[in-house]
Structures are given as structure tokens and as C-alpha cells.
Structure 1
């Protein structure tokens, strides 16, 4: 399943990069993210509680940051397991500064789901992913202001 979107943050690309890679900021802005603990410099264990009816539950997994170019881009590899199945995702995050205090965040990735949640269907899962991304970037805009 493809996951993509472009979101605008009211800050420069260097600050956007710092916000998007700071575990404390991510816990405040990511819907349902309960913990993000460093395993090493670029790998974290994560716990996420999703309250959306069709994928409701507590998911545990890992998040790895790589191919990072500060202020420009980074890649994320995420995997998680929960009561309704698993998800694996790779995502490229590109930062495009379009003005002094305006940066477009371009997200492009691919996700694989299995278990009961795979039976929900790609259209429904795409909707859930879009909803969560929208909530995240709405909170991130406030953080950047």
C-alpha cells in the first residue's frame, strides 16, 4: 500500500528537520504514540495506541532513521505488531524550503500489513493512514509556530 502526502510547516527546513527527528516532539505530536525509547543513535522502540475502531489496539515495534541529510531528508523504517496484526513501512521524508519560514514536507512510502488488519482492505487502511498523518502534521504545525 502506498502512503504519500505533502504537508506544510511554518518554519525553515533546518528547524523542520529537528522537530521531525526529536523523540520528545514526536511523542507530543504523533497520535497515540505512548513511548519512543532509544535503542541506539538511530533506532527506537515504540509503543503506539490506536483508537480508530477498525485498527484499535496497542502496537509495539521499532523505528529506524537512516540516509539522513540534516535539513533536507531522511528515511524511516518502521515495523509494529499488535492485537490485530502487523505493519511494516518504509518512508522517505523530503524537506523543501519554499520561503524563509515555510517548508514543504514530502512523504513517500510503502506499507505492508498482515493479520486481521489486512482484511480491512487497502482503501480503508489508506484512509486511516491519511487521517493519522493529517492529525500528526496539524499538531506539528502548532509545535513549529
Structure 2
């Protein structure tokens, strides 16, 4: 099994990067949709509310969920590929913590999606603008962990 992972390493790494890019695009865009939804369709009824709800649901279910799963699958395949991760270093642990944080943020967005869909959003646009900085900070930690390997 480990020989297969080593042979497939360039493909696994490529698919991991593609999955991460797709996931991050959604993670950056969904909170922005929530800002507009909270500010422009504040009464949480009507046609504009329904349009935002459909856009948010499709982004989350059709793009973000599959790409987050693919990111985890290919990432774990990389972890188990011999010679890729030096667990005596700090960087795999900081990356792992940040990836868990990104996954938490993904699920936080999913809960907010359900609130909007049911008309029970209680947060304003400013909250979503501030929360949109969370994935940026986590992304920086992930990238510096992997590239600089501190």
C-alpha cells in the first residue's frame, strides 16, 4: 500500500492542491454572500432572500462539501506517504491545527447557512465581515507551515 502512495505522490499532491483551492474559494465567498444576505435581504423573506438562500446552499453543498472531503482524503494520503511528513518537526502539527480550524470554520458556515434558510439569522453583516478574516489567518498559517517548515 505504501509503495502505491509513493508512486502516486505527484498525482495525490496535485489533487490535494486543486481541492484546497476549490474549498478555499468557497470558504472566502460564502461569508461574503452572508454579508449581502444579512444587509440586503434583512427581513429574511421575499425573492432576494430566496435567491441568496439558493446561491448559498448550492455553493456549500455542491462545491464546498465535496472539495473539503477531497482535501481531507488527499491530505491524509499525503500524510501516509512515506518520507513526506517529519513528525518530529513543528510544521505538521501547526498545519494540522490550522486545518482542523478551517474545518471548524466550514461547519460554522454550515450552521449559519441553516439559520439563513430558516429565516433565523441573528448576525449582522459586520459579524460576517469579521469572520471572513478567520480563513485568511488559517491559510497563512497553513502555507507558512508547509513552505517554510518552521
Higher relative contact order (CA 8 A, sep 6+): 2
TM over 0.5: no
Question: Radius of gyration: which is bigger?
Answer: 2
TM-score normalised by the chain length of structure 1 = 0.29
Bigger fraction of residues in helix = 2
